Structures are given as C-alpha cells and as structure tokens.
Amino acid sequence: MIIPEYLHPGDKVAIISPATEIKEEYIDGAEAYLSARGYNAVVMPHARGPRHGTYAASDAERLADLYAALTDPDVRLIFCARGGYGCVHLLRHIPVSLISANPKWLAGFSDISALHALWQRAGVVSLHCSMAKQLTLYPDSAVTESTMGILEGSLCTAENPYHVGRLTFTPAPDGALPLSAGGNLAVLNGLAATEYDILSPDRLKDRVLFLEDVGEKIYQVERMLTRLYLSGALSSARGLVFGQFTDYSGDRNYSDMEQMIESRLAEWQVTTPYITGAPFGHTDGNMPLPLGVGVAGLAAD
C-alpha cells in the first residue's frame, strides 16, 4: 500500500461534497479551520451546490469536483464535507490508475466508504474520519487533533504509532502485519460482487476488518453479517473490529447490537479474533482510522 505524502503548511486541500447536501456553515467552518492551520483550503465549485434532490449537486457536477481534485498536482488532500448517499454514482467514472499514479489523501467516512474502497482497490492508504461538521463544531477535540496528526505525519508512523484502545496502527513491511480495511457496513455490502468489493474472502485474508453503521435495524445488520459469514469473509479476515452502531432500538430477538454480533459469531463458530464497541462510527467520539496500514493488538497478529 502507498502512503500519500503527508501534509505540509501551504499545501492545497480540496473540499468536496461527493454525496448528500451539507449546511454551508459546515463547509465554511472546515475551510476556516484548514486555512487557519496553514493550508490552502479550496472549496470546489459544486461543494455548496446547486442542490440536486438530496444530493449536494448533480452526479456530473460532483464527479467534476472529484476528478478536478484528483488531477490537480497541487492537491494533497481531498477532504469530504459530508457522507449521506451518492458516492457510488461516481465510482465507475474514476480510473483506478488515476489514483495509484498520483496518490493523495482521501478523508471522510460513512458514505465515503465507497470512495475508500476505490482507494483500497488502487493500493493507496486513506483516512476514515469525521468531516466538516467535526472541524466546525469540535476543532480542539482529540478526534480532530488525531485526524490532523495522521494527515500531517506526526501519528501513525514507524517512530510514533497511533493507538486506539488496544489497537496500534503503524506502517509495516509487506506481510509483517495485517492491514486495516473497512468502513460503513451497509455501503460496503452494497458493493458486493463488484470490482470495488473489499469484503470478499480473498481480499480480507490479510486484513483486519473495521465495520460501523447508523440507522440500521438489528436484523438488517444481522442479515449483512450473515452474508459475510456465508461467503467465508468473516473467517478469512485476520481480525474483526466492530465500532459504534447507532440510531437503532432493540427488538424481541436482541436487546442491543453487540449482543447480536457476539451471539451470531459464537453460533457460527467464527474463530477470528474480534472486538466490539470500538470508538469509531457516527458519534462525537469518531476516532480516525487509517485504512491500508498495519494494525496490531488482536490475538491473531
């Protein structure tokens, strides 16, 4: 995996809205934060609209912003303002070779997981992290500082590994450690049987899989996990890390999501080491996760 060049003062950062529309004050806040930190923050032409239904702009306009950021040699970070839905529309229009030939950071989460899958396909490290709302409302938080520390190269390096709970993220020689992969479960599950499917057993055999979701009922998450179990993906992975599953309620089968996950993994006799309740997902404590780097801290390391 290729690690993009770390950010330096004066570097150009492109702010895009590749999915759902976003409040302008959050884009303004992200631009102000990144500028104050010393970067040349540029809001791409359609990041603020014009809104197209629920999307930030039309497919063609959102694609134009992403393509322009990818092909601008001065852009070092593509910072996504919001998730929602819509990134999947852009995938087929972006050649994998375009990303691998000029690797640059992609930052965001939720629906941005579709773009992270594209970066993984290209063999380029990216950052699963909070977006414009986080920089606007919580600029001094540990989440924000950790996010910028990874992008700037002060965290998640050989000299200064990045620690999240019992997990440690660090660049690693090929084969030395399993690599991190994953994101939003529903988004990634929707890429099944495509060239962007990072949840297939063959692509998970040297990976620790990170999963989170929001607004999905327990049975819906159980159905997606069942597909991964039946495909062999859960047993192929070197580790499973379940983050926060939010905005749901218990049902008559399970009182909470973690109970369901632990019950099903036991029933399926999945021996892959796993963690539940990790600090990432649709919460204020969404700790950043570098995708495509070495991860240690599970029994299978």
Q: What is the pLDDT of residue 268?
A: 98
Residue numbers of the domain that contains 217: 162-296
Q: What is the pLDDT of residue 174?
A: 79
User: Of the residues 152, 181, 215, which one is the last residue of a structural domain?
Assistant: 152
Q: What is the pLDDT of residue 300?
A: 46
Does 59 lie in the same domain as 104?
yes
pTM over 0.85: yes
Number of domains the chain contains = 2
User: Of the residues 152, 171, 188, which one is the last residue of a structural domain?
Assistant: 152
Q: Are 268 and 233 in contact (CB under 8 A)?
A: no
Does 195 lie in the same domain as 68?
no
List, in order, residues 6 or more apart from 138 with CB less than 8 Å away: 144, 284
CA gap 236, 165 in Å, rounded: 24
User: Of the residues 152, 184, 217, which one is the last residue of a structural domain?
Assistant: 152
Q: What is the pLDDT of residue 274?
A: 97
Asked if the structure places residue 157 within a domain, the reply is no
For 227, the 3-state DSSP assignment is: helix
**Low-confidence stretches of the chain (pLDDT beneath 50):** 300-301
Asked if the structure places residue 142 within a domain, the reply is yes
Asked if the structure places residue 97 within a domain, the reply is yes
Does 234 lie in the same domain as 104?
no
Asked if the structure places residue 4 within a domain, the reply is no
Q: What is the CATH number of the domain that holds 46?
A: 3.40.50.10740
Tokens found for residue 256: 């909470």
What pLDDT digit, counting tens, does each position of 45-78 carry?
A: 999 999 999 999 999 999 999 999 999 999 999 9
For residue 242, give the H/E element and its range. Answer: strand 239-246
**Phi (first) and psi of residue 260, to 5 degrees:** -65, -50
Tokens found for residue 143: 């989440």
